[in-house]
Amino acid sequence: MLLTDSRDKTVLIVGNNPDFHSRLAEIIRSEGFKAVVASDGMQGMVKYYQQTPDLVLLDYKLQGMGVLDVCRQLKALSNDRLVPIIIISGYLNDESITQCIQAGADDIVFKPFSMTIFRARIYAMFRIGDLYHKLYTLKNQQQSDEELAEQLFSEVVEKGNVAEEQIKIFKRSAETFSGDVQLTALCPNGDINVMLGDFTGHGLSSAIGAIPLSDTFRAMTDKGYGTLDIIKQVNRKMHRLLPTHMFLAISMVSFSIAEQLAHIWNAGMEDVFVFDAKTGELKHRIPSFHPPLGIAANLLNETKPETIPLGTHDRIIMYSDGIVEARNRAGEFFGEQRLLDATRQGFADNDVQGHIIAALEVFCEDLPQDDDISLVDINCDISLYNEFLVPAQVDKSHLQDDILTNQMLNGVSGSDEQWDWQFSLVGHKLASVNPIPLIMNQLHEIEAPGDHWHSLYTVLTELYVNALDHGVLKLSSEIKSSPQGFAQYFEEKEQRLEHLTNSCFVKIRLHHEKIENGGILSISILDSGSGFEFSPWIEIPDDDPDSNMLSTNQFSGRGIKLVRQICQDLVYLENGSLVKATFIWSN
């Protein structure tokens, strides 16, 4: 772009002296510019408004409205444009010159002047005006691009968040883009994964990883992968994606509503807190136990999420360092103690966010925010999450159709209407591989994804976990009779998983037959154990009043009952080491 295109330039000349007018206008026109003339300040303002000139020449000896006033008014009229003003005058003392500049004049030309110098100054002014215009346009464009990108970005990253009532999320970015990412997603079995990530730095460059992060987190949660699998995959992605000096600090909570506990991961974030909101007691703090993600290709060995049993009044608080590292005028940090105090006051008023934000604002006054600020407050009262639980009662009446039953008994002719799939896990692979997401992937590949698979996920998980826990690992579910027992159970399980031998196995076999608008899936799971005590759950019919007894012990037995409700058929054979279930689905 040329800095000065003379054909488009308009110069406004304001002065009482006709000689002054005509001489200047002549010079201007001879340069190819358009000249507009006004004989006093008032007229000058009107013409300025009408003609939007690119430069103003102002006679210092204006009558009526004084030159300084005209100067100020014209500058006020210019809005976002820079329209340079040159004052033309005879001798002026230092004070008058200063006044002119303060009133907004950009240059002063003293009479008498040489034509060459006058011309040069006009061109110089145009050049400044053009540069300003260019800068202003670029800045505006950048701003609107950034806003649009941020909108799209938030839409992609955060639109899938769930349970916004129960899991309160607050964020305030230091710039248009935030380097902090807060995600929540629902697992197929009704558990909820919550993630707080903090990319190095802030602004656009630190937000580049957010979209792949949220994609991975959501896709894997949706398929039922556990915390460690998700973290491993996110680490792999970030390691490939981020440059050496950038990384992702991350804390993640897998909130199991059915088991009333949380698996908590912390890689490079501030401590995750578990409070009893009723007493204000800080029950647990989970400090960072792993370097941030994206630094090394693999996770450190032997690291796994911490498992914390939860009570009804418990609240899990996650936050980014922008809160504790916010500074006041004296340069002090907001710090953890102020955060803890504000959080406790927040419990009393049932507004944790509000109290923390207020405390921060009082502390920092109106100082600009240095870093992104994030806060996640998870209410652990499981009764608030009923809507996310897999429905315990599935309507099977439409499946009891005679045709279906016949088809199931007799099979369907034609081998392309059925398929078989088998999968075995042996020895220590049982400790490191969760077969259920793999199976779900297979099903999605073969039969296309759909909502009807969600309850199958529950069936497979329950049956597999029973085979592993009670069959292979010989754990008794009686340990699970209290919330504390649940954590104990989990610990015991971890220990036994470390001592698996090659004679331990779980074999899963699926057989699928197509029926109109759906299919019949026969599931068999065989384990290497000697069976387990399944009868208390399996032999009580649905309508038996005694089955209510089960609900008094919500920590065990729920699983099989649920499977029985979802499946057409469920039998345990070989003392419980072989289970067969039939799942009928339709579109």
Nearer to another protein by C-beta: 204 or 538? Answer: 204
Q: For residues 393 and 350, is the Cβ–Cβ distance under 8 A?
A: no
Per-residue DSSP letter, 259: T
Q: For residues 188 and 223, is the Cβ–Cβ distance under 8 A?
A: yes
Q: Cis ω on the peptide bond leading into residue 112 (within 30° of 0)?
A: yes
Tell me the closest approach of the beta carbon of residue 196 to another protein, in angstroms. 14
Binding flag, residue 247, another protein (CB under 8 A)? yes
Binding flag, residue 335, another protein (CB under 8 A)? no
Tell me the closest approach of the beta carbon of residue 284 to another protein, in angstroms. 17
- Phi, psi values for residue 195, rounded to 5°: -130, 135
Binding flag, residue 393, another protein (CB under 8 A)? no
Tell me the closest approach of the beta carbon of residue 239 to another protein, in angstroms. 12
Tell me the closest approach of the beta carbon of residue 305 to another protein, in angstroms. 15
- Phi, psi values for residue 248, rounded to 5°: -125, 110
- 300, 362, 367, 446: residue in contact with another protein (rule CB under 8 A): 300
Torsion angle (degrees, nearest 10) of CA 288, 289, 294, 298:
-170
How many angstroms separate the CA atoms of 51 and 64, rounded? 22
How many angstroms separate the CA atoms of 218 and 221, rounded? 5
Nearer to another protein by C-beta: 48 or 265? Answer: 265
Nearer to another protein by C-beta: 190 or 268? Answer: 268
Helices (H), ranges, 103-243: 115-158, 204-207, 210-222, 227-241
Q: Which residues contact 282 (CB under 8 A, 6 or more apart)?
A: 273, 274, 275, 340
Nearer to another protein by C-beta: 54 or 198? Answer: 198
How many angstroms separate the CA atoms of 82 and 130, rounded? 8
Strand partners, 253: 194, 264
Q: Segment 427-466, which members bind another protein (CB under 8 A)?
A: none
Nearer to another protein by C-beta: 7 or 245? Answer: 245
Tell me the closest approach of the beta carbon of residue 181 to another protein, in angstroms. 15
Nearer to another protein by C-beta: 130 or 321? Answer: 321
Tell me the closest approach of the beta carbon of residue 309 to another protein, in angstroms. 25
Interface mask (CB under 8 A) for another protein, residues 205-244, using x and -? ---------------------------------------x
Tell me the closest approach of the beta carbon of residue 308 to another protein, in angstroms. 19
Binding flag, residue 174, another protein (CB under 8 A)? no
Nearer to another protein by C-beta: 268 or 309? Answer: 268
Nearer to another protein by C-beta: 321 or 462? Answer: 321
Q: What end-to-end distance do the CA atoms of the chain give, in Å?
A: 61
Give the distance, in angstroms, between the CA of residue 430 and the centroid of all CA atoms in the same chain. Answer: 33
- 178, 189, 200, 455: residue in contact with another protein (rule CB under 8 A): 200
Q: Segment 308-327, which members bind another protein (CB under 8 A)?
A: 321
Tell me the closest approach of the beta carbon of residue 200 to another protein, in angstroms. 5
Nearer to another protein by C-beta: 100 or 295? Answer: 295
Q: Segment 259-298, which members bind another protein (CB under 8 A)?
A: 267-270, 287-292, 295-296
Nearer to another protein by C-beta: 159 or 245? Answer: 245
Instruction: Give, in order, the Cα–Cα distances in Å from 114 to each of 11, 119, 121, 569.
Output: 19, 9, 11, 104
Segment contacting another protein by CB under 8 A, of 46-54, 193-201, 454-462, 577-585 = 193-201
Give the number of other Cβ atoms within 10 Å of residue 308's Cβ: 19
How many angstroms separate the CA atoms of 362 and 370, rounded? 16
Residue found by looking up tokens 């002054």 in the block: 20
Tell me the closest approach of the beta carbon of residue 171 to another protein, in angstroms. 17
How many angstroms separate the CA atoms of 187 and 561, rounded? 20
How many angstroms separate the CA atoms of 267 and 251, rounded? 6
Q: For residues 553 and 497, is the Cβ–Cβ distance under 8 A?
A: no
How many angstroms separate the CA atoms of 261 and 250, rounded? 20
How many angstroms separate the CA atoms of 518 and 107, rounded? 83
Name the residue among 379, 168, 376, 162 with its Cα closest to residue 257.
379
Tell me the closest approach of the beta carbon of residue 303 to another protein, in angstroms. 9
Binding flag, residue 249, another protein (CB under 8 A)? yes
Residue found by looking up tokens 């000896």 in the block: 61
Nearer to another protein by C-beta: 367 or 433? Answer: 367
Give the number of other Cβ atoms within 10 Å of residue 478's Cβ: 12
Tell me the closest approach of the beta carbon of residue 154 to another protein, in angstroms. 22
Nearer to another protein by C-beta: 206 or 216? Answer: 206
Interface mask (CB under 8 A) for another protein, residues 62-101, using x and -? ----------------------------------------
Tell me the closest approach of the beta carbon of residue 138 to another protein, in angstroms. 25
Nearer to another protein by C-beta: 156 or 296? Answer: 296
Tell me the closest approach of the beta carbon of residue 335 to another protein, in angstroms. 11
Please report, as a single letter, which amino acid is at residue 262. Answer: A
Nearer to another protein by C-beta: 59 or 198? Answer: 198
How many angstroms separate the CA atoms of 485 and 312, rounded? 16
Name the residue among 341, 307, 279, 318 with its Cα closest to residue 493.
307
- Number of residues interacting with another protein: please give it, by CB under 8 A: 22
Tell me the closest approach of the beta carbon of residue 560 to another protein, in angstroms. 41
Please report, as a single letter, which amino acid is at residue 567. Answer: C
Strand partners, 431: none
Query: Where do contacts with another protein occur on this chain (CB under 8 A)?
Result: 198, 200-201, 244-247, 249, 267-270, 287-292, 295-296, 300, 321
